[in-house]
Structure 1
Amino acid sequence: MALADLAVTAYTSFTALTLLQQISIIVFTPFVYNILWQLYYSTRKDRVPLVFYWIPWVGSAVPYGMQPYDFFESCRAKHGDVFAFVLLGKVMTVYLGPKGHEFVLNSKGASVSAEEAYKHLTTPVFGKGVIYDCSNARLMEQKKFAKYALTKDSFINYVPKIKEEILDYFVDSENFKMKGKNSGIANVMLTQPELTIFTASRSLMGDEMRKLFDASFAQLYSDLDKGFTPINFVFPNLPLPQYRKRDEAQRKISGTYMKLINQRRATGDIDPQRDLIDSLMTHSTYKDGVKMTDQEIANLLIGVLMGGQHTSAATSAWFLLHLAERPELQEELYQEVTSVLAPKGGKLEDLSYDDLQKMPLVTNVIKETLRIHMPLHSIFRKVMKPLVVPNTKYVVPAGHHVLVSPGYAQTNDKYFPNAAKFDPHRWDDASAQTSTGDDTIDYGFGAVSKGVSSPYLPFGGGRHRCIGEQFAYVQLGTILATYVFNLKWTFEEGATVPDVDYTSMVTLPQEPAKIKWVKRETCVI
């Protein structure tokens, strides 16, 4: 019997059934198929163990989305460090621990692709032709272009600007208004995103662009930020209000950058030492002679600023919350900051880049915060060619995804004793825990460590390692030092460090996330 005849016979038989029978078939057939597919998958000896799931297509999305580390641990206990689960129609192969970091982050670019995994999510936010909306070779060169504004000399200039922005924020923000108040309540989920976008724009984009970053401009970045949610990852273009806001924000921010770029082009007022905008206008010609268009430069500026904003906003919010229940650590930090500034007369206005290098506890608070709260709990790659899992018989087929979670290792007692405790002093003599080897490799944006086998990788690793790590420590160190010099803070009565909200793409504190602050005697406002 021809296939068409079979289809007609099946349709005729189906329409002859009662409505209840038809509904039952429509509802239950996907479930039956789902179970049969999983049974077949389990017979494949060349496939990693698959986490069983009942709901077709959805798979394990709910337990993974709500508590990813708990989900990983339960799967590891049953299947070992290597397993797969279905996430909204995608088969994700997970390899936990340092060996997994090496497997995923150092896989050859021809075998796995970050671009194919993320471009549908990032392109509407950043724009065309940049980050993941281009070849990997182009992205590596774009990172090199951006690094011209991430040198030590640049950092030296950034510190006083970042400090000034923080002090201005203490005066202007509704959460502080410190010229008229000696104490108050601050919602860190409001203050830190604003503060990080203001400090990053002032330092990276320059004074001229910073003047445009009022509260309304910060709101545009907030609208863009909402483009990084799980629903956007699966459905990047839905006719929903938040999608329209995302797209409108992208156009307005990009247009603002373009206006300044066009103005500088027209007048010839371009100084590559002034800010990242001029730096990219000067250094943005690819090796093959092709120049980035000005629109691509504007889009890359959005990507650079947002990349740092995610990490710094979340990390600074978390260290303020952890320190709120640790007054003794605040006092230690205060003593460290004031002792470093003492030879200069003890004035915060003299805080410099070199001073930050003499504050190990400040650095270790940031490091410990990043350990417990790695901003991205999962890192994906799409498999482009069949990928053999080392020392196993398993093969991950093309079209599947691989997933690695440094945050899982960073919060695991196996790698960090008493991992749940916020303890910056664990880093006082713990360099071995972050060692990845001395070998380096240059993917096109400067030498980085070749090894990624450390359990501690808050900035990722390999060719997609974040280039803003040093800037993040400068920005966050200045924020922390300025806070402890001017303020003491605690929780309101009965409050504690909030749980983690894993439902967004970034690990954020659940609200309410508020601190109760009071001015110190050394407060400069």
Structure 2
Amino acid sequence: RANIINILWVILKEDAVLAVVPYGEPPLIKGWIPYIGKALEFGKDAHKFLEEYKKKHGDIFTVLIAGKYMTFIMNPLMYPNIIKRGKQLDFHEFSNQVAPRTFGYPPVFSSKFPGMPDQIKRSFHLLQGDNLTPLSKSMMGNLLLVFKQDHLDKRQMEDSGEGGWRTDSMCEFCSKVMFEATFLTLYGKPASKRRHSSMETLREDFIEFDKKFPLLIARIPIWLLGRTKAIREKLINYFLPQRVSCWSNTSQFITRRVELFEQYNSLRDMDKAGTHHFAILWASVGNTIPATFWAMYHLVSHPEALEAVRQEIHSLLKLWGMDDFSDRDINLSREQLDQLLYLESAVNESLRHSSSSMNIRVAQEDFSLPLEAEQSVAVRKGDIITLYPRSMHMDPEIYDQPEMYRYDRFVQDGRQKTDFYKDGQRLKYYCMPFGSGATMCPGRYFAINEIKQFLFLLLLHFDLQLVEGQPKVTLDTSRAGLGILLPAKDVRFRYRLRAA
């Protein structure tokens, strides 16, 4: 009788872990509410939630979250065994359910569109390798265009009434510059102008949609989200073929996407090409803008880091014979940007701090998944296997004092540092802000490049300071699992032109 009472207590206790779990399967955490499970607690602070259950149940456990049983693998030494099993553990099944519902287009990974998945995959090569060179050149030119017209006018700065200083909100500043420069780089310019006149309205609508993005991903019906559906339609209509076809200097990537969707009559007739362009826009700036903010914020809030990166920039410019930038029109190649080791380290360190993505795989069959040494776990068809790299990013065994920002954490002996260890073993994957394996973000090289270009121009042309008396900016954890976290609150900063 005492044993029965103890078993009942295990079932009913706060964690709601099943007392009896089938042999070989990880502990199951269901919560009190049917279907919802632990979704509310997870959504409140995913990192804290997962770390608590890791302490209780070890590196592998399953959680019921909004009707889905998600098995979390918390040890990064086990990651390679997940990532290399692309056939048994597939990402596309999950994305093909979520993305069409979120952005409003029909699933393209279906028998209706034979060959479409492979062609989409090949189109992403236009964001990588040698194809990144013209993209980088275009992005640098567009950043300079926005900076020159909005922020580099000496007379406007002197007329600000603050001794040449101008005050702004940092996240808003990053959003305006990066949104427009990225848009111009990918989609091109209007027929007779250098800039789109409706860009600010488009950006504001994008922000309103993005606020509801976590709810759409969580499968909340769009008709329950106020004006979200109307805003989405407005954004989609901005990319209708008759409008896009009038733009010039469009990137090869977008041009190829237009050609691709024109091959499929059912997509073309439904005007869904505009929908896919909108989805690409979100993928291009939805995470890049907050990543740019954190990279800028960490540098400006750490003067020694700011000065070290700025000195690296000036030293290399002098080495390249480009130290006279009085015309403020310097344009670096991708190879030259890659030589700025401390700049890249500073960006990676900000990504380590702010990234909170989940790597999701769906089991395609029943099988036994080997993880480490002789350890394995039984996986059923339809199970969701999840990696949560933020736990690794904040592991003090891997990163000394992980809560601290160290701009040079990824530099060692004048080279990029790539050796990080767990339990005495070198990690194959140690910093994962862009996903993993075959499903890594295909635009990751372009994203890193444009963040470095933004910071390069910013440090080269401006003195930067935080406005005094503000609290330290913290992470908004409500978007955990979806990429780069937003700041809980924006921060005010001052900037002025540096002497050429």
Specify the structure having the higher radius of gyration (Cα).
1
User: What amino acid sits opposite 1:83 in the alignment?
Assistant: F
2:64 to 86, 100, 109: 86
Cα distance in 2 between the residues matched to 1:352 and 1:141: 32
Q: 1:341-380 counterparts in 2 under 5 A?
A: 341-342=317-318, 343-347=321-325, 348-353=328-333, 354-374=335-355, 376-380=356-360
Distance 2:420 2:453 in 1: 23
TM-superposed CA distance for 1:290, in Å, is 9.5
The answer to whether the aligner puts 1:319 opposite 2:295 as a matched pair is yes
1:97, 1:230 → 2: CA distance? 29
Inter-partner Cα distance in structure 2 for 1:162 and 1:381: 37
Give the partner amino acid of 2:347: I
Counterpart for residue 199 of structure 2? 214
Runs of 5+ consecutive residues of structure 1 not aligned to the other structure: 1-30, 265-269, 436-450
Q: CA deviation at 1:466?
A: 1.0
Q: TM-score, normalised by structure 1?
A: 0.77
What per-residue deviation string (whole Å, max 9, x for no partner) do you get for residues 154-193 of structure 1? 1234322223223334369xxxx74633223322332223
Shift of residue 368 of structure 1?
Answer: 1.1
| Residue range with higher mean Cα deviation, 451-460 or 195-204 | 451-460
Q: Percent identity?
A: 15
Residues 331/159 of structure 1: CA separation in 2 closer, same or farther (3 Å cut): same
Q: Secondary structure at the match of 1:185?
A: strand
CA contact (8 A) 2:187 2:254 kept: yes
- Give distance in 1, aligned partners of 2:268 and 2:76: 40
Kept in 2: contact 1:186–1:516 (CA 8 A)? yes
Which of 490, 496, 499 is matched with 1:519 structurally?
A: 496
Distance 1:116 1:179, change over 3 A: farther
Partner of 2:80: 102
Secondary structure of 1:424's counterpart equals coil
Q: Check whether the contact 1:48–1:394 (CA below 8 A) recurs between aligned residues.
A: yes
Instruction: State the shift of 1:326 in Å.
Output: 0.7
Coordinate RMSD, CA, aligned = 3.6
Q: Does 1:190 align with 2:172?
A: yes
1:306 aligned partner? 282
Distance 1:315 1:333 in 2: 18
Post-superposition CA distance 1:337-373 (Å, at most 9, x none): 2233332243141231243233222111111111111
- Which 10-residue stretch deviates more, 219-228 or 66-75? 219-228
Counterpart amino acid of residue 311 in structure 1 = N
SS of the residue 2:399 aligns to: coil
Matched, 1:123 2:104: no
CA contact (8 A) 1:131 1:303 kept: no
TM-score of the superposed pair, with normalisation by structure 2: 0.81
Normalized per residue, the structure richer in helix is 1
Query: What letter is aligned with 1:465?
Result: M
The 3 A distance-change label for structure 1 pair 254 and 130 is farther
| 1:431 match | 417
Return the alpha-carbon distance in structure 1 between the equivalents of residues 35 and 367 of structure 2.
23
CA distance in 2, matches of 1:452, 1:245: 46
Matches within 5 A, 1:146-161: 146-148=124-126, 150=128, 151-154=131-134, 155-161=136-142
Q: 1:250 Cα deviation (Å)? A: 4.0
- Relative distance call for 1:464 and 1:140 in structure 2 (3 A) is farther
Q: Tell me, yes or no, if the aligned pair for 1:45 and 1:393 is still in contact at 8 Å.
A: no
Mapped partners of 1:161, 1:283: distance in 2? 26
How far, CA to CA, are the matches of 1:85 and 1:421 in structure 2?
30
Structure 2: how far apart are the matches of 1:479 and 1:307? 18
SS at match of 1:116: helix
- Per the alignment, residue 204 of structure 1 pairs with 186
Q: How does 1:16-415 map to 2 (within 5 A)?
A: 42-51=20-29, 53-109=31-87, 111-129=88-106, 138-148=116-126, 150=128, 151-154=131-134, 155-170=136-151, 178=157, 180-181=159-160, 182-208=164-190, 211=196, 213-230=198-215, 232-255=217-240, 258-261=241-244, 275-282=252-259, 293=268, 295-342=271-318, 343-347=321-325, 348-353=328-333, 354-374=335-355, 376-390=356-370, 391-415=374-398
CA distance in structure 2 between the partners assigned to 1:248 and 1:293 by the alignment: 17
* TM-superposition CA deviations, 1:382-405 (whole Å, max 9, x none): 333224231445323223322111
Q: Which residue of 2 aligns with 1:21?
A: none
Residue aligning to 1:470: 445
Change (3 A) 1:39 1:460: closer
Q: Give 1:460 deviation, angstroms.
A: 1.4
Compute the displacement of 1:474 (Å): 1.8
Cα deviation for residue 486 of structure 1 reads: 2.4
**What SS does the corresponding residue of 1:389 show, helix, strand or coil?**
strand
- The corresponding residue for 1:9 is none
Give the deviation of 1:213 after TM superposition.
Answer: 4.8
Aligned pairs, number: 462
Shift of 1:216: 0.6
Letter matched to residue 372 of structure 1: H
Counterparts in 2 of 1:130 and 1:414: CA distance versus 1, 3 Å: farther
SS at match of 1:381: strand
Aligned-partner SS, 2:478:
coil
Q: Provide the C-alpha distance between the structure 2 equivalents of 1:315 and 1:219, rounded to a whole number of angstroms.
A: 19
Q: Is the 8 A contact 2:363 2:384 kept in 1?
A: yes
- Per the alignment, residue 5 of structure 2 pairs with none
Contact 1:142 1:284 in 2 (8 A): no
Q: 1:393 to 1:239 in 2, by over 3 A?
A: same
Over 3 Å counting, the alpha-carbon distance change for 1:238 and 1:292 in structure 2 is closer
CA distance in 2, matches of 1:132, 1:226: 27
SS of 2:222's equivalent in the other structure is coil
